[in-house]
Amino acid sequence: MEVNGFHSDTYIDKKTVVTDRLQKREIERQEDIQRRKDEKDNSTNAKESTQYFSDNFNIQRESVERALATCNGNCSDKIILRERFDFVAQSYQKLQKFVADSVMFLPSYDLRQAQEALGKMQGQIQEKRDQLLPKKKFAFSSRKKVDKDPQVMTNGAHKMIEKSDNLGIELAGCKVVGLQGVTLVKDSGDITCKDVAVTNLNDCTLKLFGAPSTVHMKNLKNCTVLCGPVSSSVFISDCEDCVFVLSCQQLRTHTTKDSSVYLHVTSRAIIEDCKNLDFAPYSLSYPGQNEHFDKSGLDINRNNWNDVDDFNWLASDVRSPNWAIMEEEKRKKFLEE
């Protein structure tokens, strides 16, 4: 049988060949789409891996260290030296952001290692800056004789260094500055794995719901600060009539008075030049808090809230009059929904 001059079986064979070709092309097209998708997924997975993080963290850390090495005694121009330290600060903040952006996929151990490295690096930057760009010191031709009361510490060697007042605040990845009469919330995306600086606040309530690396607070008046777990230290200075609800590895409080501290601290609390501070155990609860404790690496079951070391008080058998344990009936609960 012929169809339009062709044998029917020949026509069917050609139609089958064309159909097969179309099906083959469609299969190849789908396979190409899947291949590209797999390549994209593999690229994403490669970036979200501990090895990728480690390699890039080390590269950026070495970059900060090289920049810091240019800050040396060979540079006599203070303006140039300050510019170099500014560049170091920018590089350090970039590294901080890289760690913060990697929080979601990093194992807790790797995250803690990175946070410790950041803390060590910040200390090195601070030490070098203090050495090369020291603040002016006052000199006196004579000194008054110091009262030799054995209960009062006057040895300057034990004075707490106020790192929070200079480079720590300058390098902070999240800053809250110059507010009055407001309530402000910073969540995990704003502060986790970052240094946080809070300065010059009056009559404010600040809620830091995340796991920051370090928190610096300076010149707060009549404020309430509710803070999630901080992986290293909290620094407080020049504050008055405030309520601090804090969880951290170490607390350092300087020149602060008439304030309450609800504290979870795994190491100890240190005060200097402070008056009328009341301490109570940490009593803050908010959604996601347990996850933030995991990220911070703090031991939630270890709390030395009432182990306070006053650097202005020598007597070991008598507690310093500059701080007290808050009476239980006066303690508050801070519950956030």
- Concatenating the DSSP letter of every residue in 30-54 gives HHHHHHHHHHHHHHHHHHTSHHHHH
Co-location of 210 and 113 in the same domain: no
Co-location of 272 and 183 in the same domain: yes
Co-location of 179 and 230 in the same domain: yes
Q: Which domain holds residue 71?
A: 40-132
Contact 121/61 with Cβ under 8 angstroms?
Answer: yes
Co-location of 209 and 97 in the same domain: no
Please check whether residue 22 lies inside any domain of the structure.
Answer: no
Q: What is the pLDDT of residues 310-320, one digit of tens each?
A: 988 877 778 89
Q: Two tokens at 228?
A: 């999630």
pLDDT surpassing 50 at residue 272? yes
Buried b (16+ CB within 10 A) or exposed e, 61-71: beebeebbeeb
Domain boundary, last residue among 132, 152, 186: 132
- What is the distance between the alpha carbons of residues 285 and 109, in angstroms, rounded to a whole number? 25
Co-location of 101 and 197 in the same domain: no
The pLDDT of residue 308: 92
How many Å separate Cα 64 from the centre of its chain? 18
Co-location of 120 and 196 in the same domain: no
Please check whether residue 58 lies inside any domain of the structure.
Answer: yes
pLDDT surpassing 90 at residue 56? no
Q: Where are the alpha helices (DSSP H) in the chain?
A: 8-47, 50-69, 78-101, 108-132, 167-170, 188-191, 289-296
- What is the distance between the alpha carbons of residues 188 and 158, in angstroms, rounded to a whole number? 36
Higher pLDDT residue, 177 or 71? 177
Domain count for the chain = 2
Q: Could you tell me which residues come within 8 angstroms of residue 212 by beta carbon, excluding any fewer than 6 positions away?
A: 174, 191, 192, 193, 194, 195, 196, 227, 228, 230, 231
pLDDT surpassing 70 at residue 45? no
Domain boundary, last residue among 104, 132, 160: 132
Please check whether residue 19 lies inside any domain of the structure.
Answer: no
The pLDDT of residue 166: 58
Question: Among residues 243, 201, 250, which one has the least CA distance to residue 226?
Answer: 243
- CA distances in angstroms from 83 to 74, 133, 174, listed in the order given: 15, 12, 21
* CATH code, domain with 196: 2.160.20.70
Please check whether residue 329 lies inside any domain of the structure.
Answer: yes
Q: What does residue 285 show for φ and ψ, rounded to 5 degrees?
A: -140, 130
The stretch 305-310 carries a mean pLDDT of 92
Question: Among residues 217, 209, 205, which one has the least CA distance to residue 180?
Answer: 205
Co-location of 53 and 178 in the same domain: no
pLDDT surpassing 90 at residue 135? no
According to DSSP, residue 291 is labeled: H
The stretch 146-154 carries a mean pLDDT of 45
The model's pTM? 0.63
Contact 283/335 with Cβ under 8 angstroms?
Answer: no
Co-location of 116 and 215 in the same domain: no
What SS3 state is found at 180? strand
22-36, 191-205, 309-323: which has the highest mean pLDDT? 191-205
Binned at pLDDT 50, 70 and 90, residue 275 comes out as very high
Co-location of 178 and 286 in the same domain: yes
- Identify the weakest region by mean pLDDT among 18-22, 99-103, 304-308: 18-22
Co-location of 176 and 317 in the same domain: yes
- Identify the weakest region by mean pLDDT among 65-74, 95-104, 262-271, 328-337: 95-104
Please check whether residue 226 lies inside any domain of the structure.
Answer: yes
Co-location of 181 and 288 in the same domain: yes
SS3 per residue for 203-224: CCEEEECCCCCEEEEEEEECCE
Binned at pLDDT 50, 70 and 90, residue 9 comes out as low
Co-location of 242 and 311 in the same domain: yes
